[in-house]
Structure 1
Amino acid sequence: MKYRDLNPSTRTIMTPGPVEAEPRVLRAMATPILGQFDPEFTYIMNETMEMIRDLFQTQNHWAFPIDGTSRAGLEAVLGSMIEPGDSVFIPIYGRFGHLLTEIAVRYGAEVYNIETDWGTVFDPQDVIREIDRVRPKIVAMVHGETSTGCMQPLKAIGRACRERDILFVVDAVATVGGVEVKADEWMIDAVIGGTQKCLSVPSGMAPITFNSRVEKLLLQRKKIEQGLVEHGAKRVEQTRMIRSNYFDLSQLMDYWGPAQLNHHTEATSMLYALREGLRIVLEEGLSQRFERHQLNATALVKGIQAMGLTLYGNPACKLPVVTCISVPEGIDGESVRSMLLNDFDIEIASSFGPLKGKIWRIGTMGYSCRKKNVLHVLGALEAVLLRHGAEIEVGKAVQAALDVY
């Protein structure tokens, strides 16, 4: 045969995503296919919606996955909410704030940004002052920036947006399932998650939820597009030109709601995977899961510090599920990553933009967030750094992590 059997290497994946998939999730993906309008499949869809509500800690009626990667979820939410000329405010503290900006611009928004140094986050009061200056229709923010390993406090910003009748959209792709995300308590109007990070489900779906404020906006826009209200032909045509069909939340509401109107063919096996991943999260318990992620992150950090390496970023805003490490002076960071992969079957990540080649990023997410993995990566990193001639404290990293455990 020209093509060999598919037999990927077994890796210890310690990146900020994708991470190792839960074995139970992979088994769920191998179960028989059902038709998308089979009553059994409808029951699975409804169960999944209920579990997504629990995941985001919300009472929202609308909670369902977008078929596609996390970026598909971001585009579905922003693209469905934004009309050409809308004012959208996006504070940027890493790569994914720039992504939110690009998506908003593509849908015709007038975008306002403020930026802070990578490795830090915003004082919420600074964001609120800028909200009062800009008076946008939508504020969109990243909760956990995997590019810098930082996490933005959101509660005060959400409250300020609600008091000013501004819609608050949050990218929680990197945090949901590993860190507290309270959609209702933090007054988030729409929030987007991802499967391939703390949920330990293969990339391919993006769970989202949005409240009645967003629903009202979507239904108003739908009426305009259907010509049911007088709104000026030119504006209706503009909206139609920019809005996506596949990512149209108003159509997806008809698909996931009681009407079950055909919109697309559901990704059956991916829905099985998401359902099982959510079931595992809720079976463990959210608070216990968050504690596990924090414990393993703490053990990793103590080991890194005991080795004599320097953490990157402000520790006060550290993202619990991603640890960033400054590459030591004179060490080829990519050579270290390559040796970890080729000799130890461990994958860690570099970063983007101004941080490319300057830091390593180690994820402790979902199924990858295990004591065995933390000890393995610390021992291997020490060995690889010694082979590269780095001046480190030998034999202390794993012991420091064991002290935490």
Structure 2
Amino acid sequence: MLFSELHTPKRTIMTPGPVEVDPRVLRAMSTPILGQFDPAFTNIMNEVMEMLRQVFQTKNRWAFPIDGTSRSGNEAILCSIIEPGDKVLVPIYGRFGHLLVEICERYGAEVHTLECPWGEVFEPQVVIAEIKKVNPKIVAIVHGETSTGRIQPLAEIGKACRERDILFVVDAVASIGGVEVKTDEWYIDGLIGGTQKCLSVPSGMAPITYNDRIETILFARKKVERGIATEEDLRFTRSKHAISSNYFDLSMLQDYWGPRRLNHHTEATSMIYALHEGLRLVLIEGLQQRFDRHMLHEKALIAGLEAMGLRLFGDSRHKLPCVTCVEIPNGVDGESVRKMLLDEFSIEIASSFGPLHGKIWRIGTMGYSCRKENILAVLGALEAVLIRHGVNVIRGEALQAALDEYKVTRLAGMAVEKSS
């Protein structure tokens, strides 16, 4: 049987991930392969680490990608600090909180959960009260929850954790590169990002960073394994068998990414190229400018959706700027709408999970997908498809509302230029 060359259809991807990859990242991926210990390549690795520090807003020594999809980063940090019987508190306000619970349980943690309705987030004092009650070793939480389109305030929770010497681990897969994430200022000990969302790099790496509080645990575990642990080391670890993963052992990955360059695995060379270019583009644009861009296109999208007569889902005070959740009108087959958008307009939006499945659509405005032409395309196409499905939308207003939003922003920008 003969197989033809790949010819993938051109899509406008407006999901919460994966998103459209910046063409400059795709070009970087075609760069010739180098050996993983070639000085030219290890220099690229060093630059990736420095750019990650800037994007994560941290002075941590360690900032590097885990080879694997985003959850590999969650697992790498959690498995490297959890020992059987450790108490871990996981506040859950969407699907990916449940994922953190599963990972922690697999490594033997005693997991305590706190839940709120999907579409809401926690008041920090509620989480802090539970921290005082449970007294966990680790608090693990999602920053931007794509299943509900909400963003959890972290600063007060992080400060409370640090005051009680509790490790604070944050899944920022959906927010990094699109929303403010202040690793050091928010007292985050371990942070996990993703490539396939606001960084506009293909899925396949999970950039992480962690501080010396976590590194102390890693060093103590090594000394326990070698039988040379001191009483001080035993304050941070109890079991030489705590880590059951070789691939995700951060102490071994440190030796690979650090100056020793000890072989751990064969690096995903082309993905490092992609991450390098993706991070470079974030920093060239500027973090604040990038955050502002995501908020601008979010405002235009919301203006259009509401002008069409659609209702947004969830607590608007804590909306994740790069994911907009839309209630599916009564009597409408949400999957039929998504299929027609894809078949007739080559536009992809997402459904949701669990209690929200069949109730909302999720429209992502992330990274390279977060562009004016994409916003206008999805609004025009969605209006047409809903009309075809018999929905009584307000015709002709969605695009006009979005264009008005862009005009207001453009005029405001001109005013700033004149006054500067």
Tell me the TM-score range normalised by the shorter chain: over 0.9
| Letter aligned with residue 258 of structure 2 | G
Larger mean CA deviation between 80-89 and 378-387 belongs to 80-89
Is 1:279 equivalent to 2:297 in the alignment?
no
Residue aligning to 1:226: 226
CA shift for structure 1 position 147: 0.1
Residue aligning to 2:345: 344
CA shift for structure 1 position 218: 1.2
CA shift for structure 1 position 227: 2.5
Q: Deviations over 1:12-47 (max 9, x none)?
A: 000000000010000000010000000001100000
Residue aligning to 1:33: 33
| Letter aligned with residue 305 of structure 1 | E
Q: Deviations over 1:259-298 (max 9, x none)?
A: 1111000000000000000000000000000000000001
Q: Deviations over 1:133-179 (max 9, x none)?
A: 00000000000000000000000000000011000000000000000
On the 8 A contact 2:94/2:148 being kept in 1, the answer is yes
Q: Distance in 1 between matches of 2:281 and 2:247?
A: 29
Is 1:243 equivalent to 2:283 in the alignment?
no
Residue aligning to 1:161: 161
Which 4+ residue blocks in structure 1 deviate beyond 3 angstroms? 235-238
Q: Distance in 2 between matches of 1:2 and 1:352?
A: 38
| Letter aligned with residue 304 of structure 2 | G
Q: Deviations over 1:66-120 (max 9, x none)?
A: 0001011110011111111110000000000000000000000000001000000
Secondary structure, aligned partner of 1:214? helix
Residue aligning to 2:150: 150
| Letter aligned with residue 252 of structure 2 | Q
Q: Distance in 2 between matches of 1:236 and 1:294?
A: 47
Residue aligning to 1:311: 312
CA shift for structure 1 position 221: 1.4
| Letter aligned with residue 19 of structure 1 | V
Secondary structure, aligned partner of 2:362? strand
On the 8 A contact 1:84/1:238 being kept in 2, the answer is no
Give the TM-score of the pair, scaled to structure 2: 0.94
CA shift for structure 1 position 341: 0.3
Residue aligning to 2:302: 301
On the 8 A contact 2:57/2:181 being kept in 1, the answer is yes
Residue aligning to 1:198: 198
Q: Distance in 1 between matches of 2:247 and 2:25?
A: 26
Percent identical among aligned pairs is 70
Secondary structure, aligned partner of 1:325? strand
CA shift for structure 1 position 238: 4.0
Q: Deviations over 1:306-338 (max 9, x none)?
A: 000010001011000000000000100000000
Residue aligning to 1:17: 17
On the 8 A contact 2:83/2:239 being kept in 1, the answer is no
On the 8 A contact 1:191/1:210 being kept in 2, the answer is yes
Give the TM-score of the pair, scaled to structure 1: 0.98
On the 8 A contact 2:221/2:240 being kept in 1, the answer is no
Is 1:376 equivalent to 2:373 in the alignment?
no
Q: Which runs of 5+ in 1 are unaligned?
A: none
CA shift for structure 1 position 243: 1.9
On the 8 A contact 1:142/1:172 being kept in 2, the answer is yes
CA shift for structure 1 position 228: 2.2
Residue aligning to 2:357: 356
| Letter aligned with residue 130 of structure 2 | E
Q: Distance in 2 between matches of 1:226 and 1:285?
A: 45
Q: Distance in 1 between matches of 2:226 and 2:256?
A: 18
Q: Which runs of 5+ in 2 are unaligned?
A: 407-420
Root mean square deviation of aligned Cα: 1.0
Q: Distance in 2 between matches of 1:208 and 1:2?
A: 42
CA shift for structure 1 position 237: 5.7
